[in-house]
Amino acid sequence: MVEKNSIFSEFPEKDILLEWYKQQSTHTVPEINGHIHTPHSFSAFRNIDEAFQLAENEGVSVLGINDFYTTDGYEEFAGSAKRYKIFPLFNIEFMVLQDHLQESGILVNDPNNPGRTYFSGKGLLFPVKMSEYSFNKVKELQKESNRQTYQMVDKLNSFFAEKNTGLKFDAEELHRKLAKNLFRERHIAKAVRLAVFDEKNNSRDRIELLSKIFSGKEVKSALDNSASLENEIRGNLLKAGGAAFVPEDPKAFFSMEEVVNIITDAGGIPCYPVLLDNPHGEFTHYESDKEYLLNELIKNDVYAIELIPGRNDFKILKEFVNFFYKRGFVITFGTEHNTPKLDPLKISCRGGEPLDEELKRINYEGAAIIAAHQYLTAMGEEGYLKNKKARTDEKEYFADLGKAVIAWFCKR
């Protein structure tokens, strides 16, 4: 029995839904963005509704929330989705530490930290359901993450006092004013930028204060480029080697097994976010051999991947996507929007090169499979996973059902 506040509460049965979809005169491939962050972790958006306004303006029909460590934004996300008639994908993101890879110095999908692995769950149940054990584990992770950033604020205050900057922060106040549940490095960087601008009222004095904060380094960002300036503050003060850097405690990470168990317990599909090539055409060791990556993912019961095409070369992306698509993987694309810069939601590759029709179709199919999974699990049925294994032999059926689900939700 579907719950009243489910987005599927007024949906027909699957057979009726599929038949209705077959009768529709046009079946176009919609614009889809399956991975954005909201202010419930850190986001370029001031609020969730702003993300849907931009999606509507750009003709995006499917939008996926993908916050770190939290599902707190789901209810608001679902409400905006209903108002704008843009289909919502309910996702989550974690950081995993693979000890054996860390010990071997192997970079996974974090280009700077061996063993650290970003990992997503796709199509979680909404309304949210997970065991008490999983819920408590996630809450512990949130608490540990916030503990680290509070320590950063303490170190920052000591550094500012030593440099006689006149700046001082209260971590709890910053958390309350700038963040939701999670208080992250980027919130601290934003607080520093705002404080500098409040402390000094002209460009020369602001640059002078920033240079003092950067221990004499020249300020590279334009003062009117908030996103670039906050990234520069973060890099100088909060990252390794910075005056306020606090190393992450191992308690701030799950193992791969733990995170897969939590995602599946919450009704989701485990999904590996691919970093792929950087602007120099370089790959991490973990991703440089597609066959190796394929075997590693399957070994961990992972049959879905996602990419952020804006950071990848079109040809490299297409070759990589086709390799995994032909091997039955669910593949989706997103933009993240987890920095201060407000980029378009419509997906393109590095340099603004647009996706071709094949890549758009693959992205649509992946989003549709997740949509079907959400629909079926909300109805109390089995979704795309069976005993943690993807039902790849039924992939075409799930894609068809998901396209019908998306079309029904978005109809006006």
Query: Which residues lie closer than 8 Å to 411 by C-beta, 6 or more apart?
Result: 85
Shared domain check, 161 and 120: no
Shared domain check, 275 and 208: no
Decide if 285 is inside a domain.
yes
Give residue for tokens 């698509």: 325
Tell me the pLDDT band of 172, cut-offs 50, 70 and 90.
very high
- CATH number of the domain bearing residue 124: 3.20.20.140
Shared domain check, 364 and 340: yes
Domains contained in the chain, number:
2
Residue 103 to residue 7: CA distance in whole angstroms: 45
Shared domain check, 72 and 54: yes
Give residue for tokens 């030593």: 162
Find out whether 376 and 14 touch, Cβ atoms under 8 Å. Answer: yes
Rg, the chain, Cα only: 22
Residue 139 to residue 149: CA distance in whole angstroms: 16
Decide if 202 is inside a domain.
yes
Q: pLDDT at position 1, please?
A: 63
Provide the mean pLDDT of the chain: 95
pLDDT tens digits along 5-64? 799 999 999 999 999 999 998 889 999 999 999 999 999 999 999 999 999 999 999 999
Decide if 248 is inside a domain.
no
Shared domain check, 353 and 279: yes
Task: Write down the H helix ranges in 114-182.
Answer: 132-162, 171-178
Shared domain check, 158 and 100: no
Shared domain check, 172 and 120: no
Q: pLDDT at position 252, please?
A: 78
Residue 101: C-alpha distances to residues 221, 266, 374 (Å): 35, 27, 33
User: Cα angle at 307 between 322 and 230, to 5 degrees?
Assistant: 155
Query: Which residues lie closer than 8 Å to 305 by C-beta, 6 or more apart?
Result: 271, 272, 273, 274, 297, 324, 329, 330, 331
Decide if 56 is inside a domain.
yes
This prediction's pTM: 0.93
Quickly count helices (H) and strands (E) in the chain.
15, 10
pLDDT mean over 123-127: 97
Residue 344 to residue 63: CA distance in whole angstroms: 13
Q: pLDDT at position 375, please?
A: 98
Strand pairing class (385-386; 330-333): unpaired
Decide if 314 is inside a domain.
yes
pLDDT mean over 235-263: 90
Tell me the pLDDT band of 250, cut-offs 50, 70 and 90.
confident
Residue 271 to residue 92: CA distance in whole angstroms: 10
Tell me the pLDDT band of 251, cut-offs 50, 70 and 90.
confident
Shared domain check, 158 and 22: no
Residue 46 to residue 38: CA distance in whole angstroms: 8
Virtual CA dihedral for 392, 397, 398, 400, nearest 10 degrees?
Answer: 140
Find out whether 110 and 117 touch, Cβ atoms under 8 Å. Answer: yes
pLDDT tens digits along 202-238? 999 999 999 999 999 999 999 999 999 999 999 999 9
Could you say which of 201, 220, 238 is where a domain stops? 238
Query: Which residues lie closer than 8 Å to 366 by C-beta, 6 or more apart?
Result: 34, 304, 306, 330, 331, 332
Could you say which of 222, 238, 254 is where a domain stops? 238
Give residue for tokens 């003060």: 237
Residue of 339, 38, 80 whose CA lies nearest to 182: 38
Decide if 255 is inside a domain.
no
Shared domain check, 276 and 222: no
pLDDT mean over 254-278: 96
Shared domain check, 365 and 382: yes
Residue of 228, 235, 198 whose CA lies nearest to 213: 235
Which of the two residues, 372 and 249, has the higher pLDDT score?
Answer: 372
Decide if 259 is inside a domain.
no
Residue 281 to residue 262: CA distance in whole angstroms: 34
Shared domain check, 406 and 284: yes
Q: pLDDT at position 247, please?
A: 86
pLDDT tens digits along 79-119? 999 999 999 999 999 999 999 999 999 999 999 889 999 99
Domain hosting 304: range is 14-129+266-410
Decide if 350 is inside a domain.
yes
Strand pairing class (269-274; 330-333): unpaired
Shared domain check, 91 and 171: no
pLDDT at 129 over 90: yes
Please, which residues bridge with residue 36 across strands? 65, 336
